[in-house]
Structure 1
Amino acid sequence: MTDFTLADLETIVAARATSEDSGSYTASLVAKGIGHVAKKLGEEATETVIAAVSQDDERLTSEAADLLYHLLVALRVRHVPLSAVMAELGRRTAQTGIAEKAGRPHDPGRVSD
């Protein structure tokens, strides 16, 4: 088991996002802007879904890691700290999932689950 956390990854992403190292993938993503980062995040989400339903656990683990990484890059570009996401998750756990979801404002563009 590892002690590595999403907060650790957030710190690494923050450091690399401003790196002038031409070999930094994170810096190159950030430099291309939120549109590019969001596209990559969507691609990783799709790959994670495919791995979840039709591939082995090792592949799902790998794709989930890619998804979390790209999510943290997107949060960094938008200046949304991981702590804000964690606070929102904490707020949501104060009630049942069904009640919490029912209390959200309706988003007509959102695909329901």
Structure 2
Amino acid sequence: MSGIRDLDATIAARAGADPDGSWTAKLLAKGPEKCAEKFGEEAIEAIIEAVKGDRERLTSEAADVLYHLLVMLHARGVTLADVEAELDRRAGVSGLAEKASRSE
């Protein structure tokens, strides 16, 4: 896999697969809440490795986080293009100004 778009395409392709033969299909079949739970678990594992300072383990956990984020988004019908559009909207805007605009 060469990038996040390839990973996203793989998730989309496996979404309709037999859950007995695909972890992605199995996870999606359990619903958006389970997908969110798995994303949270992986995020916590990444945080732990970041605090510990284990670069190799953090890299591995970060890959898991990205995978589970994309699965969670897919489960709720949010596309990678949707997220990219939001990032484009925020480009060139101060992080502080962007955060303040959300609380209005």
Normalised-by-shorter TM-score class? over 0.9
Distance 2:18 2:30 in 1: 14
The residue matched to 1:51 in structure 2 has which SS? helix
> Which AA in structure 1 matches 2:95?
G
TM-score (norm 1): 0.86
Give the Å deviation of 1:21. 5.6
1:36-51 correspondence runs (5 A):
36-51=34-49
The runs of 5 or more residues in structure 2 that have no matched partner are none
Distance 1:87 1:31 in 2: 27
Aligned residues: 104
Give the Å deviation of 1:73. 0.3
The runs of 5 or more residues in structure 1 that have no matched partner are 107-113
The residue matched to 2:102 in structure 1 has which SS? coil
Residue number in structure 1 paired with 2:29: 31
* Misfit runs of 4+, over 4 Å: none
TM-score (norm 2): 0.93
Q: Is 1:93 paired with 2:86?
A: no
Provide the identity percentage.
54
Distance 1:80 1:4 in 2: 22
Q: What's the Cα RMSD here?
A: 1.4
